[in-house]
Amino acid sequence: MTADADHLVRPAERRLPAWPTIDKSLWLPIAVVLGLIAFFSFATDSFATMRNFTAVSGQAGALLIVCLGGTFVILMGSIDLSVGAIVLFVAAASVQILNNTAIGGAVFFAAAGIGAALGLINGLIYAFGRIPSFVATLGTLSIFSGLALQILQGRAIQFDLPGFEEIAIGQLIPRLPNIALCALVAWAAVVFVARRTRFGRYMYLIGGGETVARTAGVPVRRYKVYAFTLAGLLTGVGAILMVARLGAAGPSIGQELLLNSLAAIVVGGTSLAGGVGGPHRTLIGVLIIAIIDNGLNLMGVTQYSQMIVKGAVVIAAVLVSRERIFSAVVK
Amino acid sequence: MSDRTALQRPSPVFEAQALSKSYGPNRVLDDVGFVVPRNKVVTFVGENGAGKSTLFNILSGVAAPDSGVMRLHGATYAPTDYGAAASLGVSRVFQEQSLILNVPVYENLLLGQDARFARAGQFLDRKAMIAVAEAIVEEAGVDVDVRRRTGDYDFSKRQSIEIARACLAGLHLGLVTQPFVLLDEPTSALDRRDEEAFFRLVARIKTRGSLLFVSHRLTEVLALSDLIYVLKDGRLVAELEPANTTESELHGLMVGRERAADFYYERRQRVIAKGAEPVLSAVGLYQPGAFEPIDLVVRKGEVVGIGGLLDSGKSALGKAVAGVDPPAAGEVALNGGSAGAPDIGRFVRQGLGYVPAERLAEGMIASASVAWNVSLASGGDLFSNALGLWRRGREVETTERYVRSLAIRSAAANVRASRLSGGNQQKAVLARWLCRNPSVLVLDNPTRGVDAGAKEEIYRLIRELAETGVGVLLITDELLELIGLSNRILILQRGRLVAEVPAPADAKPTEREIVALMLPQSDRPDLPTGAASPSTSSPARETIP
């Protein structure tokens, strides 16, 4: 409160870079990553090994791809609760396509297309139905899951395309699984989109002041649809890489993704209120969540306790970010 | 009262001394002191922004004064919220209705008094509640069934219910012996029959307590009040008895400021020929609930002012013309092109710019930089290329050009907009449109919350734009600005275009004339200029039927 009053009296004193670069609010998540690495290195013998590095980067890769699209959605001030359901649906559909057609490796593009179509549905319902995004995607969460479970008939289905798993677990760069490499390439592309394109700028503007943007003639609804479609597309890509990595699609795929992706985005420093943060930060958020997951596993902490820890991390991240980020966001 | 001696004269019901209140740099109430005598109807009049609402907020505990003392029945009165004010016998009818629509009328009439009707702990004695509620509506002369759902009644009846509650609920429950009722523009929503009932209720309440009004309807004010206070720019400028004054005198007191012609660059105002090329022509714009079908034309280089009270619908008209809130019906053509339904996205590409009144909610993104705010409307053309890549160099260069030419004191393009003063923020919003070389600008209160220096710069800018041929639709609550800047003034009353007043540089209408046109004439809505308005040597005025 006092900080706010302060800048009213002394305008133009504190300056911001035109683009959010490495500033104070980015140091905190980085410090957390380093702290976690140090902690788990001491607490377990197996954490600081190359084998574990490969494992962590494989887990983090899938999460990162899924989070990249979600970051735009959150940056825009909306939320996509159906991310896990999209993964489940795309995984189920892809396995069936693989097993029943001669599509082969091109299933990768089919998966991306199905994801984009599901995202488009989310976006259309949200933007043109004028339904809050959390309600719209809560509905599609149930619809997509239900459809996917019908496709799978409630059981896991393996695919029979020898060598397909290489796109995820192969190592073009030694020790770095391809899934993580894909994720890093996608991350770089998305960061470029956020910083250097009209689409990226509009995401920040809509999140920072939707009414202001609309009043100035920005086609807000169209860009909302674009954002959800892009989120669906990237989620579809993430889903097919997960399927390749696991060798199958089962009813539980994508189950933890909603919490994990939301946690990673928020922990990275993108504000749930919109307009602040960006995909460049999400990389760090994903690292934090993946390291916590991996480290707790190695320490033998049960799955249930891990859920408790992650829930607390999300809440803590929002609490902390309220102090860090600009508080007078016009929403 | 006449039979008492001066020494025994009862203390006034309410007394205020030296009340002052500021919001940021704006002093909205300045050293206001007054008394409300026992058994009287006292009315405050003043134009938009004179401080009436703030005064009511302070009296009803909604806002606290920065300084000053209030006394109620002789005791110090400093309510912390409306509940505290109500418990001391001060009740208020808010301009926006505060009834709950999906409950019966009697529950609204006795809202918050449930505890008094509790029987055996938790059960409400509905019979007793209904009996009290019936007594209230009967005394108020409001013809409603208290058992029916509140939402079943129309706006006028609901307003009557609200007035009845404010005036009588405390009395009937024995909580208050001398009610002090604040009524903000109480009759504007009442139909003829409810209005008559209201007048009778006022006469009854007067015998037991006192009433304080705020109203724009001067005919009514003169008929109902025992004492009239005139507020102007937050100061109390006159205390009058209705017998000794006229509507015309009140108009004069409410305004009557000196207009410095230089401040508005009136000498630079050009004469616009009737046949000059229109840059904006609107036909049949209609928004139910906001304004009735309206046609208007803005010509090349012309400043067309739109004036009216807060409920006149002028801001809604501005949003409709610009296509920000597309109207239910009507078409707008820009620059002589084909007419179509207004759409802000298309209009921006065709050279229209819109500056909203609510800068923080609609005008600028506080969390973004000055440059981002300047480039906001031009992301689709000026600041991105065919591939959708953002042109950051051009964005910064353009912003810096306007930072210099408009003297936006922000030091750099990358400063966060929230760190700028109101005037500099508004200049950045204007720069957003200037960089597009617009042909039409719709400006809604462009100098609201702006300091005097920046105001003058904005006035000069508007004049310069007009000189280069830009057509400006200027919607404003500031009378002097409306008169000083406009070539032509349109007056709206409750969504109806009631008058068009030419305002050439050498024959500007007076504030008094404009105010007389803006205020509703009680019972004579068909005569917008009314008997009260002084038709002196003023310029010829066209009234619109």
- B380: closest chain A residue by CA: A198
| CATH number assigned to the domain covering B261-351+438-543 | 3.40.50.300
State pLDDT tens for residues B106-120. 999 988 787 788 876
Look at B416 and A326 and tell me if their CB atoms are within 8 Å. Answer: yes
Q: Pick B104 or B112 by higher pLDDT.
A: B104
Question: B380 and A198 in contact by Cβ < 8 A?
Answer: yes
**Residue B293 near residue B286 (C-beta atoms within 8 A):** yes
CA-wise closest residue to B465 among B506, B507, B406:
B406
Mean pLDDT value of segment B361-366? 92
Q: In the 3-class helix/strand/coil scheme, how is B187-230 assigned residue by residue?
A: HHHCCHHHHHHHHHHHHHHHCCCEEEEECCCHHHHHHHCCEEEE
At A13, the pLDDT band (50, 70, 90 cuts) reads very low
* Contact assignment for B364 to A209 by CB distance below 8 Å: yes
> Which ranges in chain B are annotated with CATH 3.40.50.300?
14-254, 261-351+438-543
Confidence at B372, pLDDT banded by 50, 70, 90? very high
Residue B528 has pLDDT above 70, yes or no: no
pLDDT at residue B233 in the model: 85
Predicted confidence at residue B448, as pLDDT, reads: 85
Alpha carbons B26 and B19: distance in angstroms, whole number: 15
Mutation test of the interface with chain B: which of A197, A199, A212, choosing the one with the most B Cβ atoms within 10 A? A212
Beta strands in B55-121 (DSSP E): 67-72, 75-76, 90-93, 118-119
CATH of domain A21-321: 1.10.3470
B245 secondary structure, DSSP code? -
Q: Using an 8 Å Cβ cutoff, are A262 and A28 in contact? A: no
Rounded to two decimals, what is the model's pTM? Answer: 0.79
Look at residues B380, B343, B365, B356 and name the one whose alpha carbon lies nearest to residue A76.
Answer: B365
pLDDT at residue B421 tops 90:
no
pLDDT classification of A24: cutoffs 50, 70, 90: low
Which of A201, A226, A276, A325 to probe by mutation at the B interface, max B CB count within 10 Å? A201
Over residues B231-289, the pLDDT tens digits come to 988 899 999 999 999 888 888 888 777 677 778 888 888 888 888 999 999 999 999 98
Evaluate whether B462 touches B472 at the Cβ level (below 8 Å): yes
B238: enclosing H helix or E strand: strand B235-240
CATH architecture of the domain formed by B14-254 = 3-Layer(aba) Sandwich (3.40)
**Whether the Cβ atoms of residue B126 and residue B149 lie closer than 8 Å to each other:** no
Smallest Cα distance from A214 to chain B, Å: 8
pLDDT in tens, B194-226: 888 888 889 888 888 899 998 888 888 888 899
- The model's pLDDT over B309-349, given as tens digits with 9 standing for 90+, comes to 888 999 999 999 999 999 999 999 999 999 999 999 999 99
Q: What are phi and psi of A312, to 5 degrees?
A: -65, -35
Alpha carbons B545 and B307: distance in angstroms, whole number: 18
**Min distance B402 CA to chain A CA atoms (Å):** 16
Q: Can you give the pLDDT at residue B216? A: 81
pLDDT at residue B517 greater than cutoff 70: yes
Token output for B243: 């017998």
Structural contact between residues A136 and A129, judged by C-beta atoms closer than 8 angstroms: yes
* Average pLDDT taken over every residue of chain B: 87
Q: Cβ(B437)–Cβ(B377) under 8 Å?
A: no
Q: What is the reported pLDDT for B526? A: 41
* Residue B380 in contact with partner chain A when CB distance is under 8 A: yes
Q: Which one of B356, B360, B383 has the shortest CB-CB distance to A330?
A: B360
pLDDT of B539 strictly over 80: no
User: Tell me: the pLDDT tens digits for A41-78?
Assistant: 999 999 999 999 999 999 899 999 999 999 999 999 99
Which band of pLDDT confidence, cut at 50, 70 and 90, is reported for residue B500? very high
Residue B2 pLDDT grade (very low, low, confident, very high; cuts 50, 70, 90):
very low
pLDDT of residue A260: 92
Partners of residue B345 in chain A, C-beta under 8 Å: 217-219
CA separation (Å) from B413 to B374, B410, B442? 9, 7, 25
Q: In chain A, what are the domain boundaries?
A: 21-321
